[in-house]
Amino acid sequence: MDANNNNTSSRSNDQTSLSNSSSNVDMSENVVKCCGANSKHLMMSDGQSTCANSDYRCVSTQGLQSLNDLRQNNLLCDAVLKLEDGGVFPVHRAILSACSTYFRTLFTTTLNPKNNTEFLVSNVSSKIMNLLLEYAYLRTIDIKQEDVCELLITADYLVIDGVLELCCDFLRRSLTVKNCIGIMIFAREHFCKDLEKEARRYLLRYFVQV
């Protein structure tokens, strides 16, 4: 069943406007490994639990990795996402529903037959879906300069607010005199008000150089 439903109609424009939206956003090469937007904890690559020095709450990355291993090995998956570019992704409905209102609605709507396990997701590339699934299962995501605009648009479309916030933060920290106007326009087009304000503030501060 087509995943594009009324609950997402008020979100930002789909990927058909991506090339126009991001063409003015010029940034130096940058790659950031980000944790979940609301997390203060460091995510390690050794499968261990870590704690921030400011508190005593720990995050078990080993448990998160185990869930992702199940997905990658197609174990206990109860849904399959099919993309327009041919991508096929076995997933666990509960995991995706926990981080995306879009998927929660898709998987629970009465319009879908109870025995339906295959879902068509429009306007999402396989490359970006891989990044979003990494976030859904591991709460980490690699954000790169060449992907950030498409990633932000898709996160907004799929209502994955954590990734949307991380993308806005990435663009905010990437502001320069060369790209501040492009980022401000991009933020306005996709209703990222805080990012737009930050870009405008940067533009006014360095107006002479711009």
Which stretch of DSSP H or E encloses residue 49? strand 49-51
Pick the closest to residue 167 from 154, 180, 176 (CA basis): 154
User: What's the pTM value of the predicted model, to 2 decimals?
Assistant: 0.74
Predicted local distance difference test score (pLDDT) of residue 1: 52
List of E strands, the chain: 31-35, 49-51, 58-60, 79-83, 88-91, 118-121, 140-144
| Residue showing tokens 């699934």 | 133
Contact present, 137 and 67 (Cβ < 8 Å): yes
Q: For residue 62, what is the DSSP state? A: H
Pick the closest to residue 169 from 3, 67, 29, 34 (CA basis): 34
Provide the CB-side half-sphere exposure for 28 (13 A, CA).
Answer: 6
Predicted local distance difference test score (pLDDT) of residue 15: 45
Predicted local distance difference test score (pLDDT) of residue 209: 86
| Residue showing tokens 């991380």 | 166
Separation in Å, CA 94 to CA 90, 105, 182 = 13, 12, 37
What are the structural domains, with CATH classification, of the chain?
60-143 (3.30.710.10)
Rg (alpha carbons) of the chain, rounded to whole number:
18
- Per-residue pLDDT 10s for the chain (210 aa) are 554 444 444 444 444 444 455 555 665 555 556 655 443 333 333 344 444 444 556 666 788 899 999 999 999 999 999 999 999 999 999 999 999 999 999 999 877 777 889 999 999 999 999 999 999 999 999 999 999 999 999 999 999 999 999 999 999 999 999 999 999 999 999 999 999 999 999 999 998 887
Predicted local distance difference test score (pLDDT) of residue 59: 61
Predicted local distance difference test score (pLDDT) of residue 69: 96
Contact present, 171 and 194 (Cβ < 8 Å): no
